[in-house]
Amino acid sequence: MYWEKIGIIRTLKDEMGGCVIGPYGFVVKEILLPHRVCPQPLESAGGGDYTLGVLAKWGTDTITATYELSRSIGKSVSYAGLKDALAITSQYVAVNGQVDKKTVGERWGFLPIGRVSKPLDHDFLWGNHFNAVISSYTKLSLLDLFLSDYLFPNFFGPQRFGNSPPYTHEIGISILRGEEPDEIKEQKPQLRRKITDLAVQALQSYLFNLILKDRLERGVALDALEKGDLVAPLNVFGLPAYSQLRISEGGSLKKNQALILPVPGSRVKGLGLDLAKKISKELSVSIPGWVNGWYREAAMKPRNQSYAINKKGIILTFELHKAQYASVLLHELIGGNSSVPKARAFSYPWETSLLPLYYLFRLRP
């Protein structure tokens, strides 16, 4: 079973059925702090040495799109977050230098919108806005749950691991065993280090999934606290304040708190690390001391949810905080064993380089 191979289980007994077909049926728009949905202008955008722009893409990943953009304009490009490949997405990027004209590639387009004083990174990110079309559904019974304050498990999703073997965390296992997988050798030299880091992080993510899976299989609810659990207060943006972690004595999670689990690596603590060490030993690997761990919410809750029904299917609209996967939420609702969204053969009704701009900015070819 695909999802079990990456450490994910469903917690709901019922399912809606159907599927989400990407990229057309899955639209993602980045949200930067405090709550700026791309391509809205940023209040902080003014003067500076960096060109702020919107990168719209479809059917390709952020790393590939920004690499091709950087090669095209001869300047480095920074971004706040990675976006789905099997989707039509828009996100902010910052180019080191001045760029005055739009730039287009085969499956992406870049539109400059202002200037900023520094590059973008993950600290700028609030989350993402999603529109997902569920076609061929069989039930509507979970829509009330979707619209409620129900907590869904916050597994790392398929985008972290890939959709076919060898999965990215398996490549990470090979790397930590001292091997050099063909998947790394085949990469362009400029991308090998980044891909290597992503593979090791995928292994850490896989271990996190197994920690969360073990908790759920033991019947511990996502709003229940065990003695020794880590909790963090929510800041003004509704995000966990990781600098204020504290150890719980047990009980129930409060409304203004988040349950936090460790992603195995150095500099982290918390329940589940002993299980991660046991699993790592079974895999004949160990996380080196130079690989830092981090913290992650155990649960996610969609925000600003709504839905509509038309001839295409059910259109779910919602927002998720950063580091939360819409594919995991959709899998909980839809059920089944295929990846979410599914890939479909692309068609090219007009010049492909203008398609992302047309969809997201309504620019005519």
Flag whether pLDDT at 253 surpasses 80. Answer: yes
| Lowest mean pLDDT segment, chosen from 162-171, 196-205, 345-354 | 345-354
Residue pair 76/42 in contact (Cβ under 8 Å)? The answer is no
The pLDDT score that the predictor gives to residue 361 is 53
Who has greater pLDDT, 155 or 194? Answer: 155
Whole-angstrom Cα distance, residue 258 to residue 272?
17
* pLDDT per residue as tens digits for the range 70-86: 999 999 999 999 999 88
Strand pairing report for 88-96 and 103-104: unpaired
With 0-12 CB in 10 A as exposed, 13-18 as middle and 19+ as buried, what is 98?
exposed
Residue pair 325/130 in contact (Cβ under 8 Å)? The answer is no
- Place 137 in a pLDDT band, splitting at 50, 70 and 90: very high
The pLDDT score that the predictor gives to residue 353 is 43
The pLDDT score that the predictor gives to residue 150 is 96
- Place 343 in a pLDDT band, splitting at 50, 70 and 90: low
Whole-angstrom Cα distance, residue 226 to residue 250?
4
152: its two tokens: 């869904």
Nearest to 319 by CA among 302, 298, 343, 342: 302
How many C-beta atoms surround the C-beta of residue 191 within 10 A?
Answer: 14
Flag whether pLDDT at 340 surpasses 90. Answer: no
Contact residues for 143 (Cβ-Cβ < 8 A; gap 6+): 16, 307, 314
Average pLDDT (97-101) is 93
Using DSSP's 3-state secondary structure scheme, residue 356 falls into helix
146: its two tokens: 């979707």
The pLDDT score that the predictor gives to residue 344 is 63
The pTM of this model reads 0.91
The pLDDT score that the predictor gives to residue 352 is 43
Average pLDDT (105-123) is 93
| Domains of the chain and any CATH numbers | 19-133+303-361 (3.30.2350.20), 151-300 (3.30.2340)
